[in-house]
Structure 1
Amino acid sequence: MPFKPILTARQEDGESIPLLLWRLPAPMRGISSGPLGGGIGDREWVINATVPMSYARNDPQEHLTELAGGMALDGPGVGLLTGVDVTERVAATDGAVEVWATVGLGRPILAAAAHEIPRQQTHTPGTINIVAFVPVRLSDAALVNAVMTITEAKAQALWELGLAATGTATDAVTVLCPQDGPAEAYGGPLSKWGAHAARAVHRAVKEGGARPKIPWSER
């Protein structure tokens, strides 16, 4: 996998806490729902950082900015947080689409069920974080479409794992592709690259969800 992340660690509150870092060989076009670098635009790096399950900060964007600064990451990037030990990441490929997933299922939900909405939005650890690299340029519409497809594939994997859930409340998806070349118009499950992404995500989430989970803070 040419975009294989680096497993590193950061020092925080006297602890060495694991973190995944992708330093992209060249800026890429991307879409993300992450707390840092969300939206559509050019991105130069991605981090997926473990946090304790007791995590209670309500400023994940600022926290991730601090982490990026501590690693001397310049330019725009994406930052993700998870209560899962990121050393347990799962990788999958399909048709040159590369996917990494950290799969935390401690707080699964059904998206359309009735929920009590917290007055103050906080980042709750648990979380399924998915990072996908597509080897061809996608139009902005196709990037949005790819996020939909990836989310549907994740939900399918959870259903096959026997969970009555569509995900967790803090799941995040990041999709990156080259900046140059003819733009693919579609990223749905019947498009070439959407189908590859769906199969890779389904495999990664299903494998990760089937593994026993020990939160990093309990190790």
Structure 2
Amino acid sequence: MLCEPILTSRSEAGWDIPLLVWRAEAPLLAVGSAPLGGGIGVRRWVVNATVPMTYDRDDPAAHLTELARDLDLSGPGVGLLTGVDVTEVVHRSDGGVRVWATVGLGTPVWAAAPAAPAVPAPAHPVGTVNIVVHVPVRLGDAALVNAVATATEAKAQAIWELGLAATGTATDAVTVLCPADGDPAPYGGPRSTWGARLARAVHAAVGDGGAGTVVPWSDRRAG
């Protein structure tokens, strides 16, 4: 079981920066694209940390490892970063599947956008959608990979329904966690038992999280 996230903070560069911490009651099997703990493996915790819009470190995995150490988190875990204030996390559930999303859509993109010359970044690129999913039953390896695809499809559907010509942002991340033992469910697609529930919960979380106006965390604090 993945516990509800705890909101805490850290002092960095003169800011009191919020972060969310999930702890697992027992090691969980995870799959995802996080900069720390991505891939497939057993994980014990998840961190989703806000960073200021002036963030310029090029070693996010090392940075997240430092944060985990400061939080006394032991063993392997998952670390995510975002320019969004993580206190605005949206939680939705469906049939036992639980989803948490921090939604920043300031820099929406099409996944298959044509190649274009580099352009200056916008002044406030609040553009990361981080999704954490807990499924209460063991998923087989193929089902885990399919669950990531299903979550991404549901996210893209929600973004389209919000009126944005986009499938996401360039820095989105998703993590799906489930028990590490038990009889593995073979499917995670949107019409499978658990994939359908996952899709509905992700769709609701991203849609509700993206419905408001998202401003950079640093601007909110400075304002």
Gaps spanning 5+ residues in structure 1: where? Answer: 119-123
**Alpha-carbon distance, 1:3 to partner:** 2.6
What are the equivalent positions in structure 2 for 1:162-173 lying under 5 Å apart?
162-173=163-174
1:212 alignment counterpart: 213
Alpha-carbon spacing, 1:179–1:9, altered in 2? closer, same or farther (3 Å): same
Alpha-carbon spacing, 1:170–1:32, altered in 2? closer, same or farther (3 Å): same
Deviates more, 1:109-118 or 1:197-206: 109-118
**Alpha-carbon distance, 1:46 to partner:** 0.1
Q: Is the 8 A contact 2:83 2:128 kept in 1?
A: yes
For residue 49 of structure 2, give the secondary structure of its aligned residue in structure 1: strand
2:87 alignment counterpart: 87
For residue 154 of structure 1, give the secondary structure of its aligned residue in structure 2: helix
TM-score (norm 1): 0.94
Q: Is the 8 A contact 2:2 2:22 kept in 1?
A: no
2:58 alignment counterpart: 58
- Letter matched to residue 199 of structure 2: A
Q: Is the 8 A contact 1:50 1:82 kept in 2?
A: yes
TM-score (norm 2): 0.93
2:47 alignment counterpart: 47
- Letter matched to residue 87 of structure 1: T
After superposition, what is the alpha-carbon deviation per residue over 1:157-210, rounded to whole angstroms, capped at 9, x for unaligned?
A: 001000000000010000000011100000000100000000000000000000
CA distance in 1, matches of 2:93, 2:183: 22
CA distance in 2, matches of 1:215, 1:34: 21
**Alpha-carbon distance, 1:72 to partner:** 1.2
Matched, 1:8 2:18: no
For residue 20 of structure 1, give the secondary structure of its aligned residue in structure 2: strand
CA distance in 2, matches of 1:2, 1:53: 29
For residue 170 of structure 1, give the secondary structure of its aligned residue in structure 2: coil
Alpha-carbon spacing, 1:16–1:115, altered in 2? closer, same or farther (3 Å): farther
- Letter matched to residue 199 of structure 1: R
CA distance in 1, matches of 2:49, 2:94: 25
1:18 alignment counterpart: 18
User: What's the RMSD between the two structures over aligned residues?
Assistant: 1.5
What are the equivalent positions in structure 2 for 1:68-83 lying under 5 Å apart?
68-83=68-83
Where does structure 1 differ by over 4 angstroms across 4 or more consecutive aligned residues? Answer: none
Q: Is the 8 A contact 1:28 1:177 kept in 2?
A: yes
Percent of matched pairs sharing the same residue: 67
